[in-house]
């Protein structure tokens, strides 16, 4: 079946460090891929998305490239800030008729000043 695997957290970085959160997926066909962010005590917000192979999604300095050959969608940011501290979820949808999202387990990021 379809699934998403993320690197385990928590990830702790110093401000201005480089961030990578790994995400790999298993899916039939050609899924759409997403990164969501959850700030403490809040719901999830869409951070970025990519709908076909080699697409790069980007937003707020974050980016991720849809790599079909490695079935990956790693999230990166060149210089993290304290305000980036949150839980990050990778997700896919392989259902063209309605769109059930399948989420990874989430990766907690903590950025220290």
Partner 1 sequence: SQTIHQWPATLVQPVGSPLSLECTVEGTSNPNLYWYRQAAGRGLQLLFYSVGIGQISSEVPQNLSASRPQDRQFILSSKKLLLSDSGFYLCAWSLTGPFVGGYTFGSGTRLTVV
Contact set with partner 1 (CB under 8 A): 32, 34, 36, 42-46, 49, 51, 89, 93, 95-106
- The tokens describing 44, both together, are 């999830």
The residue (of 20 and 105) whose beta carbon lies closer to partner 1 is 105
SS (H, E, C) 5-16: EECCCCEEEECC
CB of 38 to partner 1, least distance (A): 8
> Smaller CB distance to partner 1: residue 18 or 30?
30
**Least spacing, CB of residue 79 vs partner 1, in Å:** 26
Q: How far apart are the first and last CA of the chain?
A: 41
Task: Give buried/exposed letters for 19-34 (b at 16+ CB in 10 A, else e).
Answer: bebbbbbebeeebbbb
Based on CB atoms, which residue is closest to partner 1, 34 or 73?
34
**In angstroms, what is the minimal distance from the CB of 64 to partner 1?**
13
Nearer to partner 1, 4 or 19 (CB): 4
| CA–CA separation, 37 and 21 (whole Å) | 12
DSSP code at position 42: S
Smallest gap, in angstroms, from Cβ of residue 40 to partner 1? 11
């Amino acid at each position: 079946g379809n699934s998403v695997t993320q690197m385990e957290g928590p990830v702790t970085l110093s401000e201005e460090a480089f961030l990578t959160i790994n995400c790999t997926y298993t899916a039939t066909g050609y899924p759409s891929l997403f990164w969501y962010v959850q700030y403490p005590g809040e719901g999830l917000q869409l951070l970025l998305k990519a709908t076909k192979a080699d697409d790069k999604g980007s937003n707020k300095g974050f980016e991720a490239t849809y790599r079909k050959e490695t079935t990956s969608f790693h999230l990166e940011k060149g210089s993290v800030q304290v305000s980036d501290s949150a839980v990050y979820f990778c997700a896919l949808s392989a259902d063209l008729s309605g769109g059930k999202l399948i989420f990874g387990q989430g990766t907690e990021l903590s950025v220290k000043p």
